[in-house]
Amino acid sequence: MQALGVTPEEIDYIVISHLHLDHVGGLKRQRERSFALSKESLDLSGVTAFVPESMTHATARVEVVEEPRQIAPGVVSMGPIARQLFFFGWTPEQSLAINVEGKGVVVLSGCGHSTIQHILARADMLFDVPMYGVVGGLHYPVTGSRRQRILGTDKWPWAPISCGDVEASVAHLASRALKLVALSPHDSCDWSRDAFRLAFGEAYQDVHVGGEIIVTESS
């Protein structure tokens, strides 16, 4: 937020993708089933937080999203899709879809534990307009340690997430002729990012802290 010059007062809505420590401000917040934007607690009065399962916050208004719903004009939570993850257990995660006029739907994913195939299938059910892009974390730590390759996926520990899974996702995304593919290094290794960069060329952008990805409406 600092890098982008965004102050807490400017925030209208917060969307928590899922209740993992790296998405709610640390282990303490995860255990409390709450979230924080910084170490100091901020007054978030007047802010509505949309969460994928039961959570609370001292000052924000918290709403559990149980099914797909519009949360602002053109901005939709596609509703939680839950996966049984090894180690983390049952994990409902919501992704956002932004309908950019004249362009199509841009999907924003947090970790993507439910897999991009399931997330896009949900988007297909909700929208009649073409899909324009996919932005965010997709959880491909495929050249990481064995432990990393088991955490956060629903694959069996003896067949952890692999380069083949990345190739399958890349092929799935490629079949949709997306104009924008932006993968976050969050939980994805360099090998995966290179595979995406190579596959999507001009359409590919890296996601990084303080970076902006702008999709302009067209008529």
Minimum CB distance to Zn ion smaller for 132 or for 140: 140
Minimum CB distance to Zn ion smaller for 90 or for 216: 90
Minimum CB distance to Zn ion smaller for 104 or for 141: 141
Q: Least CB distance from residue 136 to Zn ion, whole Å?
A: 10
Q: How far is CA 108 from the centre of its chain?
A: 5
Give first-to-last CA distance, the chain, whole Å.
Answer: 30
Q: Verify binding: residue 63, Zn ion, rule CB under 5 A.
A: no
As to burial, measured by CB atoms within 10 angstroms (0-12 exposed, 13-18 middle, 19+ buried), residue 3 is exposed
**Going residue by residue from 98 to 117, which x/- string records binding to Zn ion, judged by CB under 5 A?**
-------------x------
What does the alpha-carbon distance between residue 188 and residue 164 come to, in Å, rounded to a whole number?
Answer: 14
Task: Single out the residue of 131, 142, 126 nearest to residue 177, CA to CA.
Answer: 131
As to burial, measured by CB atoms within 10 angstroms (0-12 exposed, 13-18 middle, 19+ buried), residue 42 is middle
Q: Using CB under 5 A, which of 11, 22, 176, 185 touches Zn ion? A: 22
40 vs 43, 62, 199, CA distance in Å?
Answer: 10, 19, 42
Q: Residues touching Zn ion: how many (CB under 5 A)?
A: 3
Q: Using CB under 5 A, which of 15, 16, 19, 20 touches Zn ion? A: 20
Q: Least CB distance from residue 50 to Zn ion, whole Å?
A: 17
Q: Least CB distance from residue 61 to Zn ion, whole Å?
A: 24
Q: Least CB distance from residue 186 to Zn ion, whole Å?
A: 6
Contact 192, 183 (CB under 8 A): yes
Binding interface with Zn ion (CB under 5 A): 20, 22, 111
